[in-house]
Amino acid sequence: MSLAVEVPSTSMASSVRVDRVVSIDIFRGLTMTLMIFVNELAEVKGLPWWNYHALAKVDAMTYVDMVFPAFLFILGMTIPIALEHRLRKNPSVPALWLHVILRTIALVVIGLILANAEFGSRSLMGIGPMVWTILALAGAVLYWNVYGRSARYQTLFRLLRFSGIALMVAMFAIFRRTTPDGHAAWISTSYPEILGLLGWTYLATVFLYLATRRWRWAPLVWFIAMTALCAGSTGNWITFPHGLPLYLWPFGNGAMASIALAGVVISGIFVDTRGGKQATLQHKSAMAISFGVLTLLLGWLLTPLGISKIRATPTWCLYSIGCSVLLFTLLFWVCDVRRAVRWAAFSRPAGENTLLTYLLPDFYFFIASACGFTYFSKHANIGLPGVLRCMIFTALILALSALLTRLKLRLQI
């Protein structure tokens, strides 16, 4: 668990060694575990309101509304580490940008598959929408699986990867849906699902990070700028982000980018990728806690603009950021300083093989729907029995993820 990676300094003239931050993996695994649970919990009736997403018209947020921001925050934390590591291996900036663009496309493609899954027309496609989605996701798994390096099986591995991309292309080619006015249409890009939103936010954050990576305080300045954009957009003082598609303006109203940039800021506090003077643990913790408390205070000051995940208000962003910062600081002390990691073993598969774990509940849902299995939509879906069912389902998904990871099925984009 003390694996070190070598990353370059900003000048590229020398390199430093940075201890792997185990708490990032654990934070990601815990977030994924909670996501599986709350997604399943959404179908359970009779629970207190704070177990569901807050309604768009209500100025409130629940713990469920903080799961997606936690993913954005972790995404931001990993960006400096991953990019600096890639630059160490290959200092070519064009090659790095090619990697970033391909990764963005991959996330958006899988997101569009999931977002359009239930809208396909059987009569127009020739196959049911659930079968279409299973085949499209199977193609994604075949293409983005991490295959071994054995020379003996390289031909087979190339065949599997080619089959995967061919299957995805075929599924996109045949996809048809019926619009509200009765016309046939292709893939809807209006909402790219969570993975697509992560992809566009990744692209926006990387652009800002790489453009100003020589300046240590640049991520904080960009965070403030995106927060201001979110506040101005929410208050209708700034109108240009409204209606712009993410492929033209991946920053959106600034909300998602601000959360990811907060992760970049915290990564800069805890992970030294520049070879500068090492701060003490007390100094790192003090800076992180101060940042977290200040974001909570700023979120409270901006409550007149509303509190809503659906409306992507600045208070929702800042409250989510503050909680993520404080939780990560605690995890850093427990996992990286005290080296207490065994308690999080149950979430390790979700943290290490995140994309596969993310897709497993979707595979279950689409396969069950294609087979007409509806037992759980009519049984154990009310109150405490429903909660217990969701806990068992989450545990089974984590166990399946662990098994598939052990069998060398690992997705990486």
Assess whether pLDDT exceeds 70 at residue 191.
yes
**What is the pLDDT, as a whole number, of residue 7?**
33
Structural domains counted in the chain:
1
Q: Does some domain include residue 360?
A: yes
pTM, whole model, 2 decimals?
A: 0.91
- pLDDT tens digits for range 202-228: 999 999 999 999 898 999 999 999 999
Please, what is the average pLDDT of the chain? 91
Q: Which domain holds residue 260?
A: 19-406
Q: Does some domain include residue 411?
A: no
Average pLDDT for 331-338: 94
Q: Does some domain include residue 1?
A: no
The Cα–Cα gap between 16 and 6 comes to 6
Q: Does some domain include residue 40?
A: yes
Q: Does some domain include residue 2?
A: no
Confidence of residue 149 (pLDDT cuts 50, 70, 90): confident
Q: Does some domain include residue 301?
A: yes
**What is the pLDDT, as a whole number, of residue 9?**
35
Q: Does some domain include residue 3?
A: no
Assess whether pLDDT exceeds 70 at residue 276.
no
Q: Does some domain include residue 6?
A: no
**What is the pLDDT, as a whole number, of residue 241?**
85
